[in-house]
């Protein structure tokens, strides 16, 4: 038995997450290939989806100031939850969120505390798909969590705990590994390699041509901005257009409004401190509010003046299809031409606009089902979700929407339209 008081630092956690991303860079195409012979149905390209989700997660590590394991894990989780793409990406983001919940408030962690946090990760992943408890990625993660728990109880070091978790999973897999099982194996093997400083590929070499060579987007393209920042600037020294221009360099969803002798500012950022640091040069800053958008129902607390009570938000994979959806009655269209579809953040930002107080989120693909539901967890009762499985079902659902009806009535009508279309 080894020392049960082993300390796992923020630096250790950082290397583990970077290692996991590095391993997905190396293995995402193999994961996509495994999908074709998986026992469970996977839409889209799960390997690509998880890679881009992890890409969003590691960006905060490139300039993190807080070196505590609790602080780093929280930033990784917030970015992954909003940067998640596809169903597989959402599940992995929830594992990271559960890890962060288990490590919150800790500067360092013991092996036992880290093992417990991993169990939290599995619980959060299960919550993402409560109706599919036997989904292979969930089953594999539970088996691996049990292997980790047994290793922690015997006092093994964290590297040995990870080895035990990987072994437990491998021994439980069938000869033909499922895509979800492969994702969990790559994740933990990457964490182990990162902890040991053995990276498969340089994980944060953002100037490298490795992304171009593999035909994938740089993580900078998937940069998540998890913090919704609002504040007032009294007696500002700059004009509204100049402030807008400066803020658009460091955030998105920028709103700058003149209010008598003050200016109201609303921005989404990955670094609230950078926004406020600039703002203090413009005038007296006050009434500061920072909401973490990755937290469930966080955006329900942000009050806005909206133009209408209810709007229909849906996705379109081309300009031509977007026009047809608008003609049929959709009010907000999100671009889904990217093969991984829109991120959770793109859906949240679209529904966070001042168009409506409430939204119905409509997807035309099973691939985006968990993305839409993750957006609902963030936006709370302001939104409802309807899932169609084709363009035809989507257009039928749009035609069943009537702005004068309540969100509940419209949701019921649209789901019934999808059900009838699926039967035809």
pLDDT digits (tens, 9 = 90+) for 356-387: 889 999 999 889 999 999 999 888 888 999 99
- Find the mean pLDDT for residues 56-85: 89
Average pLDDT, the chain: 87
**pLDDT of 2:** 46
130 plus 194 within the same structural domain: yes
What CATH number is given to the structural domain containing 18? Answer: 1.25.40.340
SS3 309: strand
120 plus 186 within the same structural domain: yes
* Structure tokens, 384: 């409802």
13 plus 149 within the same structural domain: yes
| Range with lowest mean pLDDT among 14-23, 216-225, 340-349 | 216-225
Indicate whether 207 belongs to any domain.
no
- Find the mean pLDDT for residues 1-7: 60
Domain boundary among 239, 274, 292: 292
322 plus 275 within the same structural domain: no
171 plus 314 within the same structural domain: no
3 pLDDT more than 60: no
146 plus 245 within the same structural domain: no
Asked whether 413 and 405 are in contact (CB, 8 A), the reply is yes
Number of domain units in the chain: 3
137 plus 276 within the same structural domain: no
Q: What is the CA radius of gyration of the chain?
A: 22
Q: Which of 383, 412, 373 is nearest to 420 (CA)?
A: 412
Q: Is the pTM of this model over 0.95?
A: no
422 pLDDT more than 70: yes
27 plus 150 within the same structural domain: yes
∠ CA(60), CA(116), CA(164), 5° rounding?
95
Indicate whether 204 belongs to any domain.
no
Domain boundary among 155, 183, 199: 199
Indicate whether 221 belongs to any domain.
no
Domain with 408, as residue range(s), is: 301-423
What CATH number is given to the structural domain containing 252? Answer: 3.30.70.3100
- Find the mean pLDDT for residues 385-397: 93
Asked whether 366 and 387 are in contact (CB, 8 A), the reply is yes
Q: Taking phi first (over 0 means left), then psi (-120 to 50 degrees means alpha), and beta for anything else, what does residue 46 get?
A: alpha
Looking at per-residue confidence, does 13 or 304 come out higher?
13
Indicate whether 217 belongs to any domain.
no
119 plus 263 within the same structural domain: no
Indicate whether 94 belongs to any domain.
yes
- Find the mean pLDDT for residues 31-51: 83
**pLDDT of 285:** 93
Local confidence band at 126 (pLDDT 50, 70, 90 cut-offs) = confident
- Find the mean pLDDT for residues 159-187: 87
**pLDDT of 311:** 92
What CATH number is given to the structural domain containing 349? Answer: 3.40.50.510
Asked whether 8 and 110 are in contact (CB, 8 A), the reply is yes
* Structure tokens, 241: 């257009």
12 plus 158 within the same structural domain: yes
Indicate whether 216 belongs to any domain.
no
- Find the mean pLDDT for residues 309-325: 92
150 pLDDT more than 50: yes
Indicate whether 375 belongs to any domain.
yes
- Round to whole Å and give the CA distance between 114 and 103: 7
146 plus 271 within the same structural domain: no
349: phi then psi, degrees, rounded to nearest 5: -60, -40
Asked whether 187 and 96 are in contact (CB, 8 A), the reply is no
* Cross-strand pairs, 269: 227
Domain boundary among 199, 216, 249: 199
211 pLDDT more than 80: no
The CA–CA distances, whole Å, from 44 to 93, 293, 339 equal 17, 26, 7
43 pLDDT more than 50: yes
**pLDDT of 118:** 84
**pLDDT of 1:** 44
Indicate whether 17 belongs to any domain.
yes
For helices 46-58 and 69-83, the axis angle rounded to 10 degrees is 140
179 pLDDT more than 80: yes
246 plus 311 within the same structural domain: no
């Amino acid at each position: 038995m080894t020392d049960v008081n082993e300390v796992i630092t923020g630096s250790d956690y950082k290397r583990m997450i970077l290692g996991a991303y590095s391993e997905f860079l190396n293995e995402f195409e193999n994961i996509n290939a495994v999908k074709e012979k998986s026992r469970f149905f996977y839409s889209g390209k799960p390997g690509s989806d998880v890679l881009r989700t992890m890409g969003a997660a590691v960006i905060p590590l490139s300039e993190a100031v807080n070196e505590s394991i609790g602080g780093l894990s929280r930033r990784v989780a917030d970015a992954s939850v909003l940067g998640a793409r596809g169903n597989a990406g959402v599940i992995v983001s929830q594992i990271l969120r559960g890890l962060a919940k288990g490590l919150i408030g800790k500067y360092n962690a013991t092996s036992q505390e880290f093992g417990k946090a991993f169990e939290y990760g599995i619980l959060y992943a299960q919550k993402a798909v409560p109706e599919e408890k036997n989904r292979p990625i969930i089953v594999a993660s539970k088996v691996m969590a049990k292997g980790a728990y047994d290793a922690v109880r015997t006092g093994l070091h964290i590297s040995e705990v990870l080895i035990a978790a990987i072994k437990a999973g491998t021994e439980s897999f069938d000869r033909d590994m499922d895509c979800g099982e492969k994702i969990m194996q790559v994740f933990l093997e990457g964490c182990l390699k990162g902890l040991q400083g053995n990276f498969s590929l340089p994980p944060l070499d953002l100037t490298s041509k490795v992304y171009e060579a593999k035909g994938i987007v740089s993580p900078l393209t998937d940069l998540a901005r998890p913090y919704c920042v609002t504040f007032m600037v009294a007696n500002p020294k700059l004009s509204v257009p100049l402030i807008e221009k400066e803020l658009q360099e460091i955030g998105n969803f920028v709103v700058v409004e003149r209010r008598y002798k003050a200016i109201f500012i609303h921005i989404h950022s990955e670094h609230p401190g950078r926004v406020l640091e600039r703002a203090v040069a413009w005038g007296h800053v006050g009434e500061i509010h920072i909401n973490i958008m990755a937290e469930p129902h966080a955006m329900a607390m942000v009050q806005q003046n909206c133009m209408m009570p209810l709007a229909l938000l849906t996705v379109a994979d081309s300009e031509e299809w977007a026009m047809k959806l608008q003609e049929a009655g959709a009010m907000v269209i999100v671009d889904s031409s990217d093969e991984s579809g829109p991120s959770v953040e793109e859906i949240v930002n679209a529904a966070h606009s001042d168009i409506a107080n409430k939204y119905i989120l409509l997807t035309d693909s099973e691939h985006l089902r968990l993305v839409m539901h993750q957006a609902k967890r963030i936006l709370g009762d302001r939104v409802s979700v309807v899932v169609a499985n084709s363009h035809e079902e989507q257009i039928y659902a749009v035609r069943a929407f009537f702005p004068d009806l309540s969100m509940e009535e419209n949701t019921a009508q649209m789901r019934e339209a999808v059900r009838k279309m699926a039967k035809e």
